[in-house]
């Protein structure tokens, strides 16, 4: 069972990007954490990051017939992208929305998410560990395979 963990803009800068907000964990650290958790849960992990909205839409489309679920941190596109909302609606896969920071405790423009209405659940404010929790949530949600 393949799970896509998809990351949007500026998440490639983790480690040095506003460490007071996002901590010192790098995206490579998050990929390693996801790989460990996926292995434990019996998932095959596909991990990707892009700074481009259309590329993120295409990664979501690509999940449609190849993945069982999506973990998505759409970064700033969370708050702006109808296209990502529509892509998630069109693939109809369980999606767990993840944010490292607690978007509801930050600036008002981060309180609105176009992802949440088409997500199965939302994890925010728990740092990198949120990705591992999201994989666990998908494991609970998806039918077992033989």
CB of 102 to ligand DQA, least distance (A): 8
Q: Is 73 in the site for ligand DQA (CB under 6 A)?
A: yes
Distance CA 145, CA 21 (A): 39
Per CB under 6 A, the segment of 31-39, 62-70, 83-91, 98-106 that binds ligand DQA is: 98-106
Active-site annotation holds for 52:
no
Distance CA 113, CA 106 (A): 13
Active-site annotation holds for 77:
no
User: CA of 64: how far to CAs of 5, 69, 71, 78, 89, in Å?
Assistant: 13, 9, 13, 20, 11
Distance CA 102, CA 111 (A): 9
CB of 136 to ligand DQA, least distance (A): 18
If the CB atoms of residues 37 and 99 are measured against ligand DQA, the closer one turns out to be 99
Structure tokens that stand for 69 in this block: 């679920």
Binding site for ligand DQA (CB under 6 A): 10, 73, 75-76, 78, 99-101, 103, 110
């Amino acid at each position: 069972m393949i799970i896509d963990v998809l990351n949007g803009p500026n998440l490639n800068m983790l480690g040095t990007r506003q460490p007071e907000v996002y901590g010192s964990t790098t995206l490579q650290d998050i990929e390693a954490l996801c790989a460990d958790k996926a292995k434990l849960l019996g998932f095959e992990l596909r991990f990707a990051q892009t700074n481009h909205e259309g590329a993120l839409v295409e990664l979501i489309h690509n999940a449609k017939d190849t993945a069982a679920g999506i973990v998505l941190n759409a970064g700033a596109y969370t708050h702006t992208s109808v296209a990502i909302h529509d892509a998630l609606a069109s693939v109809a896969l369980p999606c767990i929305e993840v944010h490292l920071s607690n978007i509801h405790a930050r600036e008002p423009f981060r309180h609105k998410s176009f992802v949440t209405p088409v997500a199965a659940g939302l994890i925010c404010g728990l740092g990198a560990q949120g990705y591992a929790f999201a994989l666990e949530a998908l494991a609970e949600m998806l039918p077992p395979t033989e």
